[in-house]
Structure 1
Amino acid sequence: MFTITDVMPFTSYTCNLSFINVVGEGPSTQCTFETAQHTPDDGPHNFTSSPTMTTVTFTWSRPSIPNGIITEYKLRVANIETNNNTVHSIPASPGQTGIMYTFDVKGFFTAYNNYTATVTASTVIGFGPLSNTRGRTLPDMSSPPLLNTRSFTISNTEFTTLESIDNHTINVTWFPPTTPNGHIMNYIIDVNEYSGTNLIRRTVTDVNMDKFTELIYKTLLTPGVPYNVALAAYNEFGQGMPVEVTVFTKVLSK
């Protein structure tokens, strides 16, 4: 018996066997054999992801040194924002070189979630090394900013309004949206007459605060008149859902 070493897994070999005695070498006999399968030497190649707001499509190609027939891929996806993760087993067809898989688990992703993913390939012997990718789902419309309001009652009906400093000044104070669905880039405040005429537009670009206060002053504001104040946050998606409230400027004191 003779043992051949340093052979590659899942590889066909041809050998020639001959006997040598004192007279010389005899005729050779040819034999062929194939080594057994093993786990892949490397992970799947070109592992990339393409997200929407709530789904991610992953693509990859098989390992360059599979060491056998790839029978299965194991995809693990983790949502960094929620600390949730899940594993999906994806069968592989014989001769299949490229894989596209859309991860669409209801409720797993929302807009602007950071995620990581790994994929590994398996032969009948077992799984090989991991390949990694990461990304973020697309932004969506922001929820409204949290406007600081006060309530008052007229004839048993409750109303919500803002604080008016004087007959020409309105105090707009708010907190960031609870669900920004993206990176907040600015806030826009619009003050309109009840007729719909826009009087003031104020853009706030310093967004790295926990609380915001903007004093809206304009001599065009008529004392004791109702105005509609609308506030919205803007992210990469665009304008978020606005919050609106009616405010009365103070009546001129005599």
Structure 2
Amino acid sequence: MYNLTGLIPYTNYTVSIIPYNYNMSGPARQELQLTAESIPGLISDLIQTNTTLTEIDITWNPPTIPNGIITVYEIRYRESTSTGPYNITNTTNTYYSIVGLIPNTSYTIGVRAYTSIGPGEWTNQSFSTDEIAKISNFTVIHLNSTSVQVNWLPIPGASYYTIYYNSVYDDSMNVSNETNQSIISGLYSCLSYSFEMSMTVEINGNYYEGPRTEPTEDVPTVNPSTYTSTYTMTSPTSTPSGVFSDEFTNISTLYVCPPLLGLSLFINIIFVCVMIGMCCKKKKIAYNVNATGTIRPIKLKKNPVHNYAVIE
């Protein structure tokens, strides 16, 4: 008995046996022998052929060295960032569609072949599902000191849209998928807001939000409300009769932002009045005309009781 080693599994070999003696050789005897199966080699050319938000289609080629009859292919997959167990499935084809996946997610996918002896080694690749579409033609139009209008291009398949806006506080609002514009009101004046927008899709009862998009145009600052106070008085004049006149001209414009943190309107009115008092200060001047027609100033003294000027 003699053992031949180093042979390839599941391969036909022709074995010849020739007997010899001292004088001559006998007739040769040949036999065709098939070596036993072994575990298969690696599959090759594992590629992604198509993707959607929740599906990845893959194909591959059988092992170059099958080492037997390939009975089945085993497929495993999980999220690339996961350390948990793989999802396992199998097929007798050299293609497969993995469904029920999460949008915009990378998956590690492995395939290996089986013979009657057992499985071969895994061939692994990373593939990703499609990304949820970004909002396009996203613009913000200033309407008034506390409102803006948001416009965008509708996307088929959206469950709803979300608009994010931020200044002092973060806030957001959901908008129906049946419209392509919305008005955001109740904003604070005097503040600059940043805006972002995203789309959410519903898949098998689960909701997945896509990436946020900034407006395609510059977002205008919400203009402050302006309170204007104007006070007009006549310039000092002289009269032949020497009558006292304390009128004067003063025009003052004051810009005040409305309350940002819930201050009452009453407090702001008081603030306006104080500012006006600081800006406008009365000056009292009296004039008299003597017999020669010369105008001369008259020294005044204020009566603290009656609050009027007395000519000395």
Under TM normalisation by the shorter chain, which class is it? Answer: 0.5 to 0.7
- Tell me the residue number matched to 1:23: 23
Q: Which amino acid aligns with 1:89?
A: N
Work out whether 1:188 is the aligned partner of 2:215. Answer: yes
Residue 131 of structure 1 and its aligned partner are, at CA, apart by 0.8
Instruction: Compute the RMSD of aligned alpha carbons.
Output: 3.5
More strand per residue: 1 or 2? 1
| Mapped partners of 1:67, 1:8: distance in 2 | 7
More helix per residue: 1 or 2? 2
Q: Which amino acid aligns with 2:214?
A: Y
Residue 173 of structure 1 and its aligned partner are, at CA, apart by 4.6
- Tell me the residue number matched to 1:172: 193
Residue 172 of structure 1 and its aligned partner are, at CA, apart by 1.7
Work out whether 1:216 is the aligned partner of 2:221. Answer: yes
Q: Which amino acid aligns with 1:216?
A: T
| Mapped partners of 1:82, 1:15: distance in 2 | 52
Aligned residues: 182
Structure 1: tracts of 5 or more residues without a match: 93-98, 151-158, 190-200, 204-214, 225-248
Whether the 8 Å contact between 1:9 and 1:68 is mirrored in structure 2 is yes
Whether the 8 Å contact between 1:45 and 1:62 is mirrored in structure 2 is yes
Work out whether 1:110 is the aligned partner of 2:102. Answer: yes
| Mapped partners of 1:100, 1:111: distance in 2 | 21
TM-score of the superposition, structure 1-length normalised? 0.61
| Mapped partners of 2:88, 2:68: distance in 1 | 23
- Tell me the residue number matched to 2:54: 54
Structure 2: tracts of 5 or more residues without a match: 135-160, 173-183, 201-207, 228-256, 260-268, 273-312
Q: Which has the higher contact order (CA 8 A, sep 6+)?
A: 1
Residue 145 of structure 1 and its aligned partner are, at CA, apart by 4.5
| Mapped partners of 1:18, 1:202: distance in 2 | 93
Work out whether 1:133 is the aligned partner of 2:125. Answer: yes
The structure having more radius of gyration, on CA atoms, is: 2
Change (3 A) 1:69 1:149: closer
* 3-state secondary structure, aligned to 1:39: coil
Whether the 8 Å contact between 2:46 and 2:59 is mirrored in structure 1 is yes
Identity of aligned pairs, percent?
23
Work out whether 1:101 is the aligned partner of 2:119. Answer: no
Residue 89 of structure 1 and its aligned partner are, at CA, apart by 1.5
| Mapped partners of 1:19, 1:138: distance in 2 | 70
| Mapped partners of 2:63, 2:36: distance in 1 | 18
Whether the 8 Å contact between 1:73 and 1:90 is mirrored in structure 2 is yes
Change (3 A) 1:74 1:52: same
Change (3 A) 1:164 1:67: same
Work out whether 1:162 is the aligned partner of 2:187. Answer: yes
- Tell me the residue number matched to 2:253: none
| Mapped partners of 1:15, 1:32: distance in 2 | 6
Residue 146 of structure 1 and its aligned partner are, at CA, apart by 3.4
Whether the 8 Å contact between 2:189 and 2:225 is mirrored in structure 1 is no
| Mapped partners of 2:17, 2:104: distance in 1 | 65
Residue 124 of structure 1 and its aligned partner are, at CA, apart by 0.5
